[in-house]
Chain A
Amino acid sequence: MGLSCLKKTSSSRPKWRVLTSYVVPWSSSEQLLDEPRVGRAKVIPYLSVTLMVAILTLMFWKIGYAFTLVNLALLYLLPVLVSAVRWGLGSAFYAAGIGVVAFDFFFVPPIHTFTVSDIRYFVSFAVYLAVAAFTASLAAELRKRVRDSRERESVTSALFALSNQVAAARDLDTVLGEIVGHASRTFGLATVIMLPDASGQLTARAQMGLTTVNGFTVVEPRVVSWVFEHGKMAGYGTNTHRNTSILYVPLKTESTVHGVMCIGTQRPLGKDNPHWHIRVVQALAGLAAVSIARVRYEEKAQIAHLTAESERLRTSLLDSISHELRTPLATIIGAVTGLIDGENFLSNADRQELLVTVREGAMRMNRLITNLLGMVRLESGMLQLNKKWCDVADIVGVALRQVKESLQNRKVEVNLQSSLPPAAVDEVLIEQVLVNLMSNAAKYSADGTTIELDVMEYDGVLTIRIRDYGIGIEADDAEKIFEKFYRTDTGKNVPGTGLGLAICKGIIQAHGGEIFARPGEKAGTVITIRLPVGDAPEPILETAEEFSHELID
């Protein structure tokens, strides 16, 4: 039937394809259902039983004189027991039947006839049959229980392993993939998990058993949405929409229905389909529901965390900016109004001092705005590296020139490794990093102290180290100082926004480098930058020298 169906679809487009949204072709591989095995497998027990009885009869025939008839009758119970344990009730009754017939024909006088001389033998036959039936049903029941419990155990341990895997998996698709795979392996049935997508439409999020096209079955969207809405099972084996071979199980935790698991086959499930199969399906659905809920909660927690974090950032941004903007503005407005109002009584020296205050206030605001814009550029991903081959020593020189004024009487010891290779960096941004770091070194150290700046290159990595002998940092703060708006407790009285180092980190990371801080051995702070210099450009140095070997006097 499946094949003919397939042929139809390949030749002409069947109408039902247009009407249904989900076409689930079935894997026809091993169906682990309790369907009775057909054909050869069904005949084997009866053949074997016949063979056993035949062999017994032959043996008794040859050495029968050693036994009494009662012994023989008891021995004919053996095939019954064996077949009951091995193949179940049917073959056991068959064994009992042919046992009686063989016994009667070969051993009960008159021999070689079915007639029985002594009427008492009929009582024996009846007892024999009763004992055979009784032991056979006992043995068959035992066999079934053993098999059931074995299967149950394997399903349970598989479920256990699955729940472990699911608990370890991080993202929803992996989890659902595992569950669907498991359901499909355990029952040999196609399984689909349908979850509402962004628009609320239920769509297949994970599916298994759809790769082969030996048959088709249809997941009905109508039933899926009914199950999703009502949170109740439907389909095969339930009271709702039972005319289908698919079981629809809601994925439900407490009050929420997260989605629907559909599991089924194109053939009706075996009529003696044990109840525990449904229970395993329910257990799987429960596992899926819990996993989905867990992932959803994690997402929610993540969002809540982010919201709280951005809230915290916004607050500290406002605090920091309002303070950092208002302070210089206050000095500027104060000084300027003082200059305008006090024209008549301010001495030249006073006036000069106020003007210097105005300039410093404005400079400070300029720095703040530069930093804020830098941070915005970094955060918004607008930062574009304009990498060129640069002379790092040159960038250091430019940066030192920039911070000259803020250094006051601090001494800068520059230690450049001779013959530094060119580095592929954005020189404007690296200069900004050095300016920020040098300004920091000056800001957090007393006037007159030394600041050391070392630049060296080894194995394609450029190392820039700036060491000051100022107030230093705690080891705990070493990483935090690169976070936005973070200010150390010791440095709180020094004006600043906590943006400079965050910008440095952003720029260095954009270059594929790293920056870290540590407390100095004796005092102060050591900041280290490590930058990959890139593959050196073509060795033009020598050729350039050849160009100009002739010196001018």
Chain B
Amino acid sequence: MGSGPGEHGLKRVPEAYKGAVLMGAKVLIIDDEVQIRKLLRVTLEAHGYSTMEASTGREGVLKTSMDIPDLLILDLGLPDMDGRDVLRQIREWATMPIIVLTVRDDEAGKVYALDNGADDYMTKPFGMSELMARIRVALRHIAQQPDEPIIQVGPLQIDLSRRVVEKNGEPIKLTPIEYDLLKALAINANRVMTHRQLLKQVWGEQGTETAGHYLRVYVGHLRKKIEDNAAQPNLLLTEPGVGYRLVDPN
């Protein structure tokens, strides 16, 4: 159920996303706090986005269907309905990126949102620059050519057509599983991938419960091969309790 990141992006790519990307993209902010909405509106507009606001879940669902925004910022803690229900209702038909805002200590809520179609999450309180980066990644991802054969993440270059991985031009030897794992992370570069999403993409549907252990082991193996210092990784990052994120260290 739901469409994980990396799937809905392939279906329908509105023309507006392509070319001189993202500028002027419409962002719907669904949050009950006036202060947060104001802060987001001011910052987003300063960055060249146009914004719409909704203060309740119902209003958010309505505005999404009427105005079709390019991206949603959804607070999971809404007064009238559970933010996760809002997410599910919207995901039933809409494919635009959704970034959820959560509070600390709600790892279960984060994972649920991500597994049910959210593209990324931000933990309150957050820095604006971080949120802007997440918005850019989400919008760029949906605009990305699905048949792009070469993915560049920091020093890593992954050639999907030849199944070759290079770091700073040096080839890296990977086992098939390590390669599949890196590929799943690289396609969704800079976005968080939950354990379940990774397991599904690398091992397939079956046995995701027990395979959580495999994932940890293979992330360790992969780190030893792609990181300068596997103990203090700066490419393949762990999001505790949620999943992993392959980032461009710069």
Contacts and interface: CB of A to CB of B under 8 A. Distances in A.
Interface of A: 362, 366, 370, 373, 377, 386, 388-391, 393-398, 400-401, 414, 416, 422, 427-428, 431, 537-538, 540-541, 544, 547-553
Contact of B238 (A373, A398, A414, A547): A398
B231 A388 contact: no
Interface in B164-202: 164-165, 171, 173-179
Contacts of A395: 238, 240
A411 B125 CA distance: 28
Contacts of A544: 177, 214, 217-218
A541 B231 contact: no
B146 interface: no
Contacts of A547: 175, 177
B22 interface: no
Contact of B174 (A391, A428, A552): A552
Contact of A401 (B105, B177, B217, B232): B232
Closest 5 CB pairs of A and B: A548-B175, A428-B241, A548-B177, A428-B240, A427-B240
Interface in B151-168: 163-165
B52 interface: no
Interface in B217-242: 217-220, 230-234, 237-238, 240-241
A120 to B, nearest CB: 118
Chain B interface size range = 20 to 34
A386 B216 contact: no
Nearest to A400: B232
A552 B214 contact: no
Of A388, A549, A551, A552, which is in contact with the most chain B CB atoms at under 10 Å from its CB?
A552
B217 A427 contact: no
Interface of B is mostly: mixed
Given A548-B178, A549-B175, 14 more contacts: A366-B125, A386-B107, A388-B212, A389-B213, A393-B231, A394-B219, A394-B238, A397-B231, A428-B105, A428-B241, A547-B175, A548-B175, A550-B175, A550-B176
A400 B234 CA distance: 11
B240 A540 contact: no
Interface in B98-125: 104-105, 107-108, 125
Contacts, number: 83
B213 A394 contact: no
18 contacts: A377-B105, A386-B107, A389-B216, A391-B219, A393-B220, A393-B230, A394-B219, A395-B238, A414-B231, A537-B213, A538-B210, A544-B214, A544-B217, A548-B176, A550-B176, A551-B175, A552-B165, A553-B173
A551 B172 CA distance: 10
The interface residues of chain A, by DSSP majority, are classed as helix
Interface of B: 104-105, 107-108, 125, 163-165, 171, 173-179, 210, 212-214, 216-220, 230-234, 237-238, 240-241
A432 B103 CA distance: 15
B217 A541 contact: yes
B86 to A, nearest CB: 25
A416 B173 contact: no
A431 B219 CA distance: 18
A397 B214 contact: no
A112 B103 CA distance: 121
A553 B237 contact: no
A401 B249 CA distance: 12
Contacts of A428: 105, 107, 240-241
A160 to B, nearest CB: 60
Given A366-B125, A428-B240, A391 B216 contact: yes
Contacts of A548: 175-178
B174 A551 contact: yes
A549 B177 CA distance: 10
A548 B178 CA distance: 9
A540 B213 contact: yes
Contacts of B219: 391, 394
Nearest to A453: B231
Contact of B220 (A394, A400, A550): A394
A382 to B, nearest CB: 10
A553 B172 CA distance: 7
Contacts of A370: 104
B179 A398 contact: no
A96 to B, nearest CB: 99
A336 to B, nearest CB: 14
Contacts of B104: 370, 373
Contacts of A414: 231-232
A389 B212 contact: yes
